[in-house]
Structure 1
Amino acid sequence: MESFDWKPTFVVGIDFGMTCTAVAYSSAPEWARPECVQKWTGQYHESQLASKVATQVAYDGNGELQSWGFKCDWDRVPTSVEKEFKLYLDPMFPDTYPNRPSHEEAVTWYKDYMKSLYDYLDSLFQRTIPDWAQRNVEFLFSVPTTWTSPRLTEQLKSWLSAAGFSNIYNRRIKISQTEAEAAAVYAAKQSFKVGDIIMVADAGGATTDINILEIKEHSQDKTQLTALNKAEGVNVGSTLINEQAKRLVKDRLQTLSVPGDVSDLYWLAEDMLQQGNFEALKCGFDGAYAGMDTYLTVPADRLPTSYRGRRQPVVITAEELKCFFDEQLDVMFESIYQQMLELTRERPQDSVKYLVLSGGLGSSRYVQKRLKARLANVQVLCAPEPQLAVAKGLVMDRIQTLSRGMAVYTGKCSRVSYGVLCRLPYDKVAMRGERVTKDILDGLLWAEDQVDWLIKEGEAVPDEGLTRPFRLKIAKGEEHDGFEAQFVMSDRPARALPKSLRSDTVSRICSVSARFRHEEFSGRSSGQFKHKKGGLLSKSKEHFVAEFDLKVIVGSADLKFELVSKDGRKYSQNDTRIEVNWEEAKPKTRSKKWARNMYPALQRTPS
């Protein structure tokens, strides 16, 4: 159980990216603006600086980790180099790429990479930070905005723990924000005025995260902003441009009859793009065609006999590169327009004044040029350090909370809807087709597996959490069996949320089981729960009715739970009497008898 008086004296923000990873940090008592790690193992020269390190790991022929980061580029005997696996940490990520890694492979690579990163940072800070071993260190992480399941966040915590980030008593892990929120914090810390409405688009390697914010307070040492809509994540990024180029080169290799199956030609295309300096041409592209064609040479030993002795370049023209960019930008533009339309519907008096770009793709001159042309009434700005926005934003938000007692980002909007399964009084008209049971304790009909939606998609999430009163019938003799509340989510629009678990758009995310204290049943006058005798002339049997409040704290990427008795005693998520099980349940399994008895306290009971 975590100590409530534990406070960090050193915070480290880690932005794990598709192609590169950034690390920012700050320390007590000054809590100065964050700095970034710029020296990494594997850099070619001691004097060379890099604000990010490559996200890649290399393995030898036995499958043992050989190297990581920049060392993969010059290691002598790597058999395989694994990179661009971030999105596959989500087992539900849709992809048709023929060489896509499995979820299990991506998790293995992630753990190996993060362990290497932790070991390097620990060694670096031991050499440069006084009393490093004695400091309370908090490692801050974000999650992609496209990840909506709190279960995935819990898994991420366990992977990071396995990698060593919480391996001693004074090291903690905190997953506090989405990438969109962290980038927004960084953007809001720049030169804006109170009342300004800004849109932040963090366009990175694999995803683009977009949200609209209002600056509520802004001074030298304190900033506060609030979300005006839910953050939106779309699969748009610079690595997807690389993927389009790779597929084009693969097709042209097939046209040249270069031998090899599809998988082999993909690897050859990737090697040719690296050798041909495609990345530099892509990053420098500004929409002009002159001198921007990419010439790639097919290795002589891979050419068919009929081509031997003749140079066979594969060309990616500037027009084709422009098409790759435009395909990504079309998706980005659609998301931006939808966000603006939603703001106009909800707040017709307000409009976006600034669009702030961050991330690797956001730093592209062509992207900036296209956005300025499309958004005539919005001033398009680029963040000062666009590729460090997430890492620094994580640290900025945390150090303001620690030094000023106030987070930068407040008033977040829920990206999905969260609810809890319960029973409701049966209505034979409104609940046709639902699972109905006759309660042996009260003899009444109830519809089971109904959803009480606690927070709906797009609604503002109270920082203090949401509390809802419930009741639970407990049979005599089963007082100490406890009960289980099952939480669900849906990404359906708030206006079209399903009413029960019967819908395929409702998915379980976790179950929260709790056990009550013995004294809550002891004594009819002093006990917390009402005692119902039942009897021969009554439909009901002897039982207790427990009344309690279920509290859910909805974070950016996680959920926390409390059970509060009527006299104010809390069973928190860290309490031994309450347990959260994040294992995915089968969608159509029946609820346990001690789960299905829970019903909202404010509902009428059947007559």
Structure 2
Amino acid sequence: MEGFQSRPDLVISIDFGMTCTGVAYCNVATGSDSVRHIQRWPGRTQANENKVPTLLVYPQDSATPSSWGFLAETAQEASGAGYESREWFKIMLDEDLLEQMRRKSSEPNKVPHIHEVEKWYTDYFRYLYRTIEARLRGELASRWEDANIEFIFSVPTTWKPIPTVERFRKTISAAGFGSCANHTASIGLTEAEAAAVHTARSMPGIFKENEILFVCDVGGGTTDLSVFRVKNIHGSSLSLEQIDVVFGATIGAAQLDSLFEKEVLQRLQHADRLQPMGLNDINQAAWEMRISKEYQNAKCDYGSEESLMDTETFAVRIPKLDRGYVNRDYAISDGDMYFQRDDLKGFFDTQVSKLFDMMDKQLSRVRQKHPTEQVSHLVLSGGLGNSAYVQHCLRSRYASGNTPHSNAHNMQIRIAPDPQLVVCKGNVADRVQKLKTGQSVLGWRCSRASYGTMCKILYDPYDPAHQGSKTEVDPLDKKTYIMNCIDWFIKQVKPFDSLE
């Protein structure tokens, strides 16, 4: 899938997200280095949408989806019994996390098995592949099947190369990516690295030579934090040197939504015991309230200037509840459940606290490695990174002179351009620059693992390190060797040239 050497006609990057998925591309064959993104999606062809929902709907007892993306959103709203939606499943490809969810669940039999998650991935990517082909085949001078096309995917830092990333490769391959002779599908930069590339290309004027830059991509399910040194600002293209491994954690909007869903479920259960509501499935009602537009809008607006003009409360419709139902004890009236907007603060603060912990650890690591230097910038991207409340919290802690870290006294907090598209655009931009100049925007990277090959070392009886090692005599040259050694060609944390 990744063996192709010739110059691509089209470079396409896919950012598969917890809630939505974005696709960016560059038509290299025309000589352009402009990075564009798909905005017309099935079900929204009359409007521009930067991303498509990561959502599938299946008829009950059917292995084949009936709809996906925006079409599935409509189907989900219209359908009642007989249909099942599949969403928020990105993090479930990590089997360790999936088993953790099973152990914590009050209904473990409802937590899917890994083969089911793989099936959802493959089904979703099949629809995505067909849409990408339909939208972009007109960009090419040759047939889609004959064109040289590179597909680049990003994955969360929290995923282990084996088995999770390999499992991801298997699903995209099964969906059709890289299936044509001249097509390749590869894993590109991590989400934070791609965000850094897009930011560096879009805002080169704000950086100075040798400044240290933090990039934090706070998405739907995971957060990546990476550290870079700015290089070559006076050259033909700004470049970044990674000075530490990327940190990853399960921090994001999905965790915030889970806390809201838990609160809703508790209220529904208590209200139903006090005064029966007549709902067939209270758990399903809580889930639908979690993904409701009323709650999602309140969450996205929380902490913004616009929210200051909102009412102090917001209401979320309780699905299938009679409009005449009233239960004042649990703030239910006319079939709606009412919330104080500041009820959301606790949900946000749980994620913000984890973000602070992640930032503090990274700042401490940088101070240990570079004790005399300051971190000049923190760039935020991703859906939750675009939250006004999250930005306010980070500024209060790190940009107001109150920070406990001596190397962050002058740190400026900035928002990445196109915060929800930085990952897919960054991967395309990095590949296009490499094709154009031979140099990646990320000139040096830090590996999260060590890589080497098994070897044998000639035994030296005078070397103290060789004392006590198990040896064997090679029958070919009759010399004594230490067996099962490893020759490391990439060492964890140590920077390496990304072109090597």
Task: Name the TM-score class by shorter chain.
Answer: 0.7 to 0.9
* Cα distance in 1 between the residues matched to 2:198 and 2:95: 30
Q: Which amino acid aligns with 1:270?
A: W
Greater relative contact order (Cα 8 A, min sep 6): structure 1 or 2?
2
Change (3 A) 1:30 1:105: same
* Cα distance in 2 between the residues matched to 1:228 and 1:441: 45
* Cα distance in 2 between the residues matched to 1:114 and 1:426: 55
Matches within 5 A, 1:254-403: 254-257=269-272, 264-275=281-292, 277-286=294-303, 291-299=311-319, 301=321, 311=334, 313-376=336-399, 377-403=410-436
Aligned to 2:59: 60
Change (3 A) 1:324 1:10: same
* Cα distance in 1 between the residues matched to 2:343 and 2:483: 56
* Cα distance in 1 between the residues matched to 2:186 and 2:192: 16
Q: Which amino acid aligns with 1:51?
A: N
Aligned to 1:461: 496
**Does the 8 Å CA contact 2:456/2:481 hold for their aligned counterparts?**
yes
SS at match of 2:346: helix
Does residue 1:21 correspond to 2:21, yes or no? Answer: yes
2:90 to 72, 86, 90: 86
- Following TM superposition, by how much is the alpha carbon of 1:438 offset from its aligned partner in structure 2, in angstroms? 7.4
- Following TM superposition, by how much is the alpha carbon of 1:267 offset from its aligned partner in structure 2, in angstroms? 1.8
Aligned to 1:72: 72
1:422-459 per-position Cα deviation (integer Å, ceiling 9, x unaligned): 678799x9999x99797796999998766666544322
SS at match of 1:147: coil
* Cα distance in 2 between the residues matched to 1:316 and 1:154: 43
**Does the 8 Å CA contact 1:58/1:66 hold for their aligned counterparts?**
yes
Matches within 5 A, 1:140-289: 140-189=152-201, 190-191=203-204, 192-218=207-233, 222-257=237-272, 264-275=281-292, 277-286=294-303
**Higher Cα radius of gyration:** 1
**Does the 8 Å CA contact 2:380/2:386 hold for their aligned counterparts?**
yes
**Does the 8 Å CA contact 2:324/2:334 hold for their aligned counterparts?**
no
* Cα distance in 2 between the residues matched to 1:435 and 1:57: 56
1:560-605 per-position Cα deviation (integer Å, ceiling 9, x unaligned): xxxxxxxxxxxxxxxxxxxxxxxxxxxxxxxxxxxxxxxxxxxxxx
Of residues 413-422 and 376-385 in structure 1, the stretch that sits farther from structure 2 once superposed is 413-422
**Does the 8 Å CA contact 1:358/1:389 hold for their aligned counterparts?**
yes
Change (3 A) 1:256 1:107: same
Which protein has the bigger helix share?
2
TM-score by structure 2 length?
Answer: 0.82
* Cα distance in 2 between the residues matched to 1:315 and 1:439: 78
TM-score by structure 1 length?
Answer: 0.68
* Cα distance in 2 between the residues matched to 1:100 and 1:183: 32
Identity among equivalent pairs (%): 32
Q: Which amino acid aligns with 1:383?
A: A
1:108 to 107, 119, 131: 119
Q: Which amino acid aligns with 1:272?
A: M
Q: Which amino acid aligns with 1:231?
A: V
**Does the 8 Å CA contact 2:140/2:147 hold for their aligned counterparts?**
no
SS at match of 1:343: helix
* Cα distance in 2 between the residues matched to 1:218 and 1:347: 21
- Following TM superposition, by how much is the alpha carbon of 1:168 offset from its aligned partner in structure 2, in angstroms? 1.3
Of residues 376-385 and 302-311 in structure 1, the stretch that sits farther from structure 2 once superposed is 302-311
- Following TM superposition, by how much is the alpha carbon of 1:251 offset from its aligned partner in structure 2, in angstroms? 1.1
1:74-94 per-position Cα deviation (integer Å, ceiling 9, x unaligned): 236571110111111122224
Aligned to 2:407: none
SS at match of 1:164: coil
Matches within 5 A, 1:23-42: 23-28=23-28, 29-42=30-43
Does residue 1:117 correspond to 2:116, yes or no? Answer: no
SS at match of 2:217: strand
- Following TM superposition, by how much is the alpha carbon of 1:113 offset from its aligned partner in structure 2, in angstroms? 0.6
Which protein has the bigger strand share?
1
**Does the 8 Å CA contact 1:13/1:394 hold for their aligned counterparts?**
yes
Q: Which amino acid aligns with 1:388?
A: L
Cα RMSD (Å):
3.6
Does residue 1:411 correspond to 2:444, yes or no? Answer: yes
Change (3 A) 1:2 1:273: closer
SS at match of 1:165: coil
Change (3 A) 1:42 1:200: same
Structure 2: where are the runs of 5+ without partners?
Answer: 400-409
1:303-322 per-position Cα deviation (integer Å, ceiling 9, x unaligned): 99997997464333333311
Change (3 A) 1:342 1:185: same
* Cα distance in 1 between the residues matched to 2:184 and 2:338: 50
Structure 1: where are the runs of 5+ without partners?
Answer: 466-607
SS at match of 1:182: helix
Of residues 105-114 and 439-448 in structure 1, the stretch that sits farther from structure 2 once superposed is 439-448
- Following TM superposition, by how much is the alpha carbon of 1:298 offset from its aligned partner in structure 2, in angstroms? 3.5
* Cα distance in 2 between the residues matched to 1:282 and 1:440: 68
* Cα distance in 2 between the residues matched to 1:263 and 1:446: 71
* Cα distance in 1 between the residues matched to 2:266 and 2:2: 55
| Aligned residues between the structures | 461
